[in-house]
Amino acid sequence: MTRTRPARLRRGSTVAVVAPAGPVDPDLLAAGVAVLESWDLTVKLAPHVLDRHPTLPYLAGRDVDRAADFEAAWCDPEVAAVLCARGGYGSQRVLDLLDWDAMAAAGPKILAGSSDTTVLHDAVGAALDVVTLFAPMIAGPLFDADAQRHLQDTLFYPESVKRLIGPNTATAGHGVAEGVTVGGNLSLITANLGAANFFPPPDGAILLLEDVGEAPYRIDRMLTQLLRAGWFTSVSGVALGSWARCGDLAEIDRVVEDLLGGLGLPMVWELGFGHCPGQLTVPLGAEAVLDADNGTLTMSDAALS
């Protein structure tokens, strides 16, 4: 069933920037905020967005503070979108600290982010029944002009970016699939298996997969784990994104073909989302059509209302 589409942004809309995972670079944050303000958005920085955990340097502050920032941003009636500053690691640690009833009462709004934010997309999408955006991080090193432009178009003019195709997209399995988009970062999907708030894909889902810094044998292991867990049973098509710093792309292609090729699913390679220059913003929880023969993922409706 189609999820609720949050309202699109307009000039003067207020957005909140939070850090639910890794520590944020102040200079990259300032640059990202400047971009948002150039779009005539009002930016609220979460109180702990530049925090550092007192003993765990890979976290942007204490779990309770990161969770409080995320929840407060979502529940703030002035905020139309919650943007995650960067990925890294840590979003899993905040999930059980969020008041989901309070967030549901606050109504639908936009969640944008990628990488480690995958678990937040899964939880927010399922618990709050909203379409979310797998999008570039505004304080990340890959928030380049092309990524900015596509995110801005998605946020303000979503009907203009319903059809997605990357510069190097290629067919990996022929055919057409229709269903709801799910997924994101392969490592985070696999790490969430068995968790209490884990939500497997709905019937007919179109699965998005990408990762960064994972050797081909590790990608093999994670895909094998998902296969053994029955995770592909409901999947109707697969869209593969970037595999930055994952080694030889030809070897990754062979891994994917060896493990998933026999499923007979429509599949595309390098759709242009994930850890790559010019990262596309891809709606999750939205009805879409994956045409593997022409290498496109097309949203049935605009991601935002």
Tell me what the mean pLDDT of segment 126-151 comes to: 95
Contact 297, 271 (CB under 8 A): yes
User: Which residues belong to CATH 3.40.50.10740 in the chain?
Assistant: 14-159
Catalytic residue among 13, 236, 275, 287: 275
DSSP string across 62-117: -HHHHHHHHHHHHH-TTEEEEEE---SS-GGGGGGGS-HHHHHHT---EEEE-GGG
- Taking residue 26's Cβ as centre, other Cβ atoms within 10 Å add up to 11
User: Which residues belong to CATH 3.50.30.60 in the chain?
Assistant: 163-299
CB contact set of 34 (below 8 Å; sequence gap of 6+)? none
The answer to whether residue 196 scores a pLDDT higher than 90 is: no
Residue 299 Cα distances to 33, 87, 294, angstroms: 28, 25, 15
Annotation says 115 is catalytic:
yes
Model pTM?
0.96
User: Can you give the pLDDT at residue 2?
Assistant: 74
User: Can you give the pLDDT at residue 172?
Assistant: 85
CATH of domain 14-159: 3.40.50.10740
The answer to whether residue 197 scores a pLDDT higher than 70 is: no
Catalytic residue among 91, 115, 187, 242: 115
Closest alpha carbon to 271 in 154, 112, 175, 163: 163
The answer to whether residue 199 scores a pLDDT higher than 80 is: no
Closest alpha carbon to 219 in 262, 249, 187: 187
Measured in whole angstroms, the distance separating CA 166 from the mean position of its chain's CA atoms is 16
Catalytic residue among 71, 210, 214, 287: 210
Strand 296-299 and strand 287-291: the pairing is antiparallel
**CATH among 3.50.30.60, 3.40.1360.10, 3.40.50.620, 3.30.70.20 for 163-299:** 3.50.30.60
Residue 236: what residue type? Answer: S
pLDDT for 224-243, tens place per residue? 999 999 889 999 999 999 99
